[in-house]
Structure 1
Amino acid sequence: MLEELSIKNFAIIDELSVSFGEGLTVLTGETGAGKSIIMDAISLLIGGRSSVEYVRHGENRAEIEGLFRISPYHPSKDKLEEAGIEVEEGMVVLRRDITAKGKSVCRINGKLVTLAILREAGQSLVDIHGQHEHHELMQPEKHITMLDRFSGRKLQEALDDYKKHYDRFTRLLSELKKWKEIDQEAANRLDFIAFQLQEIEEAQLIPGEDEELEKERHILANSEKLYKQLHSTYEGIYGEGKALDWASHAMNDMEEAARIDENVENISENIHSAYYMLEEAAFSLRSYIDTLSFHPERLNEIEARLAEIKKLKRKYGSTVNEILEYAAAMEEEKDTLENKDQKIQQWQKELESLALDLLAEAETLTDLRRQAADVLSEKVKKELQALYMEKARMQVEMKDVQTGQPFTFADQKRYFNQRGKDKVEFLLATNAGEPLKPLAKVASGGEISRIMLALKAILSDYQHVTTFIFDEVDTGVSGRVAQAIAQKIYEVSIDSQVLCISHLPQVAAMADHHLYIEKAEKNNRVMTTVHPINGKEKTDEIARMMSGVTITELTRENAHELLTMADKMKSKT
């Protein structure tokens, strides 16, 4: 659930901190007080589109921060930890800053993240439903997502399996199409590959050759200096009166000292070992110096070979090993091109086999969706009856898609997309005797609100979000329908936190927590404030919602009665 929301320099909000509780929280206030601005801030917090217009005039940046509490098994926890974000004690802090220049900075638990990660995490925590979301219900292409969400884990697992097959299928289909289209290009490509391979083969490269040649060139180019340094080192160790002579004197003196004091025996032994190591180093130096010789012709050979390799590097790779790897890849492509027809036949058979598997996976999805569609239709019907659409019927229509990746089975073309082979659309009949028609063509504004609320009530058990937000979903309804909507919103809040902006007194009366939003002026600047209200304040606010401007004793009595009825209704739920 969303426990704390902090907003600073956002639109007409100067600085605001709001605490939220469990259950149903209703936000009310006069039009323009800033209720929807708070919802806009939450929308941005979970990855919504930003704008410099949100930054309060005269300020450098707007800041929004929200503290969420999640269960140990919430699906967002694993996703966050995969992104390297630690979740301690079930707390998730989302933060988003928007600068006056339009830059957006996102953080989760203090760690900088991309907007995509913030959006993925945020939308698993909060589900915002406003009037604009009615459009989602009006878009048939979104219906399959709603149905799949309702279908649950079994369908999601089947969908994951299907997508793996679909990705392999589309990759192979694309590859096959490409090879069928390159007959003429293949001949030209073969000539080009043959030329490249001949050039590389004639060079007779050896793995790591360039590195070894570079080392040898460096030694030969500095051979005179190397000889001087080695000879000087040898003389310093083995020359008369040099290091070995002094070490010999020191070794003899320490042997005498050790005979007197056994405490220095270890030192004596160390000097003794150092003398023989130094002597061995001198012998090794002498042997290596004897092997040194300078051959100008060898240096010329190396320079010529490196120049030849450098020419190849400009074309095929930065090292000899990379050039050889490139040649191996060209050999493989050459073999494929020379056996193109055979490869195409092989891929065609593989594609046909894969397509059969894909069709089987897609049909599994279809079966699961049909089962879920029947259950969903019946559940929506019952929910709509509770919302005073007694004669309404909703049916989930499923057809084969006619767009996407085509493939022909037994002379019949079939289409697949990322979600299978199904086209899903919600059909609705609002009155008895009417035929089922696409929902967008038959539902009024008030009916759409109730249908969406019915779907939210049903899908809330499957979405696993911590917080639902309803932004004026009750617009355009009144009377007993308003009371039914209030009851339904409260039912959703029993198992999930719900924040609801409403102008309906029936909804406000059902609230577990009531926040009053008002606009005030301070230092010639308008700002929004939020006050929790209870008791008489809550009764007066509901009375104001019922009567408009003037609050009379009669409207107070009506408000009190509405609150009493709401308490009785909640106790029975």
Structure 2
Amino acid sequence: MLIELSIRHFAIIEELTVQFEKGLTVLTGETGAGKSIIIDAIGLLLGGRGSAEFVRYGEKRAEIEGLFIVEENHPIMEKAMEVGIDVQDSMFILRRNITSQGKSICRVNGKLVTLAILREIGRTLVDIHGQHEHQTLIQPEEHIAMLDGFIQHKLSPTLEEYQNLYKRALQLQNQVTSLSKNEQEMAQKLDLFQYQLEEIEQAKLVPNEDIQLMDERHKLTHSEKLYSLLQDSYTSLYGEGRGLDFLSTAVTHLEEAANIDQELKALLESVSNSYFLLEEAAFTIRDRVEQIEFDPNRLEFIESRLHDIQRLKRKYGESVDDILEYASRVEEDLDSIIHKDDRIIKLKAELDVLWRDILVEAKALTAIRKQGAKELTEAIHGQLRSLYMEKTIFDVRVTEKARSKFSPLIDGQATPFGQDGIDSVEFYLSTNPGEPMKQLSKVASGGEISRIMLAIKSIFSNQQGVTSVIFDEVDTGVSGRVAQAIAEKIHAISIGSQVLCITHLPQVAAMADSHLYIHKQEENERVKTSVKLLSTEEKINEIARMISGVEMTDLTIQHAKELLELAELHKQPA
């Protein structure tokens, strides 16, 4: 849930910090006071589109920061781990700055993130639904996602299997398309690949050959210096009056000393061992000296070989191993081109079998969706009855997508496969008895859309996993008993969670667990927005104002008290 929101230099808000609680929080106030601006700020914090226009006039940047606390198993935890965000005590601090040039800086728990990541995280935290967002509900292409969300536990395994097969089919289809390109292009590739492969094969490269040759070249180039250094080392150790000679004398003296002092035997043994080790090393140095020879022909061969390898590196890779790997790939591509007709026949056969397997999974998806459509229809009808739309008939229709010329053929019949199957989902509605079912977008009024949306939110609120739901004046266009029903429905969604609601309905305000009053005032010739948590008495007065409009009377105050009393009775557990 959203615990605290801080806003600085955003639109008409100079500086504002608001704390939120669980349950239903309503925001009320005069038109233009800044209620929706606060929701806009939350939207930007969650990755919404920003611009320089949001920055308060005369300021360099707008700053928005929000503190959220989530459950330990919340989906955001996995995303945080994926992008390297440190999380402590299940707390998330989102911060977004927008400069006067329109640039955005986004942080989550102090870590800089892209706007895309902020948007992905924000989507799991808050669901904002405003009066202008009914378009989602009336867009048919969005309906399949709503139905799938409703039945996700039943649908997910089959959908995952379908999508894996579909992805494989698209890969095979791309291979077929690639191999079926025009003959001229294939001929050009054939000539190129044959030339490249022949050039690499003629070089007769050996893995790591370049590294070995460069090491040998280094030794040959410095062979005279190496001979001199090893010879000097040997003569320093071996010979009369040299290192080993002196060490031999030391051993002799230590033997006599050890006969006198037994405690010196360990020292004698150590020095003796050192003598024999050095003697062996001296002989090894002597052997290496004898092996050193300067071979100009071998050095010339190495230089030539490295030059040829370097020429191949410029074309095919940074190392001999890279060149050999490239040759392997070219050989495969060459084989594909030479035998492309056979390859195309084989791929098409494999693809035909795969499309049939996909069709089985697609039909399984259709069956699950059709059963889910019945369940969703029934659930929405139950919600609509409680919103005084008992005569409204709602239907979730699952049909086959429209075929196109690109649809795969199975037994000569085009099958409209897509990322989510072969289904098209659309909501239909009849608002009055005797009227035919029509597409939701063509028959519902603003008030009806508000109630249908609320019915759907009531069903989905527990399934979406979001920590908070925000309603921005979704109660527009309703009144009377419908307003009361909407108030009760919004409160029901808030039970055990968090709902923030901007409203002009006194019935909704009366249901609030927390009531925030938004007002603006002029200070130093600038408009300033502030927020106040209302006491019980202030809440009565505000609801009375909402009832009467401007003037409050004893009757409106009494009416406000009655609304609050009724709201408290409704909140009592049955």
Instruction: Calculate the TM-score normalised by the size of structure 1.
Output: 0.95
C-alpha contact 1:542 1:559 (8 A) present in aligned 2: yes
Describe the shift of the 1:53–1:248 C-alpha distance in structure 2 as closer, same or farther (beyond 3 A).
farther
Cα distance change on mapping 1:255 and 1:486 into 2, 3 Å: farther
Q: Which moved more, 1:26-35 or 1:237-246?
A: 237-246
- Deviation readout 1:363-396 (Å, 9 max, x if unpaired): 1111111111111112222222222223111111
Q: In the superposition, relative to structure 1, how do residues 535 and 340 fare at CA in structure 2: closer, same or farther (>3 Å)?
A: same
Counterpart Cα distance in 1 of 2:133 and 2:263: 90
SS at match of 2:96: strand
SS in 2 for 1:416: coil
Structure 1 partner of 2:345: 345
Seen in structure 2, the aligned counterparts of structure 1 residues 265 and 480 have a Cα distance that, compared at 3 Å, is farther
| AA partner of residue 463 (structure 1) | Q
Alpha-carbon shift at residue 361 of structure 1 (Å): 1.1
| Percent identity (aligned) | 54
Segments of 5+ residues of structure 1 without an aligned counterpart are none
Structure 2 partner of 1:362: 362
Equivalent positions of 1:145-294 (< 5 A) are: 145-255=145-255, 258=258, 265-294=265-294
Secondary structure of the 1:325 match is helix
CA apart distance, 1:181? 2.3
- Structure 2 counterpart SS, 1:464: coil
Q: Distance in 1 between matches of 2:298 and 2:510?
A: 97
**Shift in Å, 1:503:** 1.1
Q: Which residue of structure 2 aligns with residue 388 of structure 1? A: 388
Q: 1:384 to 1:301 in 2, by over 3 A?
A: same
Aligned partner of residue 461 in structure 1, secondary structure: coil
- Work out the CA distance in 2 between the residues paired with 1:63 and 1:339: 63
Residue 9 (structure 1) aligns with = 9
Tell me the equivalent position of 1:322.
322
Please tell me the root mean square deviation across aligned C-alpha atoms, in Å: 2.0
Equivalents in 2 of 1:252, 1:508: separation in Å? 107
Amino acid in structure 2 at the alignment position of 1:465: V
Tell me by how many angstroms 1:320 deviates: 1.3
Q: Secondary structure at the match of 1:356?
A: helix
Counterpart-to-counterpart distance in 1, 2:221 and 2:415: 71
2: CA distance between counterparts of 1:426 and 1:364? 21
Shift of 1:254: 4.7
Give the counterpart letter for 1:219 in structure 2: K
Judge which range, 293-302 or 429-438, deviates more: 293-302
* Partner in structure 1 of residue 518 of structure 2: 517
Given residue 272 of structure 2, which amino acid in structure 1 is its aligned partner? H
Q: Whole-Å Cα distance in 1 between the matches of residues 478 and 422 of structure 2?
A: 38
Deviation for aligned residue 1:271:
3.2
Quote the Cα distance in structure 2 between the aligned partners of 1:551 and 1:562. 15
2:262 and 2:114 map into 1 onto residues whose CA distance is: 71
Q: What does residue 140 of structure 1 align with?
A: 140
User: What are structure 2's unaligned runs of at least 5 residues?
Assistant: none
Rate the CA distance shift 1:249–1:4 in 2: closer, same or farther, 3 A: farther
| Partner in structure 1 of residue 463 of structure 2 | 462
Q: Closer, same or farther in 2 for the Cα pair 1:294/1:369, shift >3 Å?
A: same
**Structure 1 residue 258: deviation in Å?**
4.9
Q: 1:81: how far off?
A: 2.5
Q: Using a 3 Å threshold, how does the CA distance of structure 1 residues 249 and 159 change in structure 2: closer, same or farther?
A: same
User: Is 1:492 matched with 2:479?
Assistant: no
Whole-Å separation in 2 of the counterparts to 1:402 and 1:348 = 24
Alignment of 1:43-122 (within 5 A): 43-122=43-122
Change (3 A) 1:529 1:206: same
Q: Describe the shift of the 1:255–1:529 C-alpha distance in structure 2 as closer, same or farther (beyond 3 A).
A: farther
Q: Aligned AA for 1:201?
A: E
Structure 1 residue 505, shift from structure 2 partner: 0.9
Evaluate the alpha carbon distance shift between residue 262 and residue 388 of structure 1 in structure 2; reply closer, same or farther with a 3 A threshold: farther
Give the letter for the 1:285 counterpart: I
SS in 2 for 1:8: strand
Superposition pairs of residues 389-428 of structure 1, within 5 angstroms: 389-402=389-402, 406-428=407-429
Number of residue pairs aligned between Structure 1 and Structure 2: 573
Counterpart code for 1:186:
M
Letter paired with 2:493: V
Question: Residues 12-64 of structure 1: CA distance to partner in whole angstroms, max 9, x if unpaired?
Answer: 22332222111101011122222111111211222211222223333333322
Q: Is the 8 A contact 1:12 1:526 kept in 2?
A: yes
Deviation (angstroms), 1:249:
4.3
Post-superposition shift, 1:82?
Answer: 3.2
**Partners of 1:100 and 1:123 in 2: how far apart?**
26
Residue in 2 that maps onto 1:125: 125
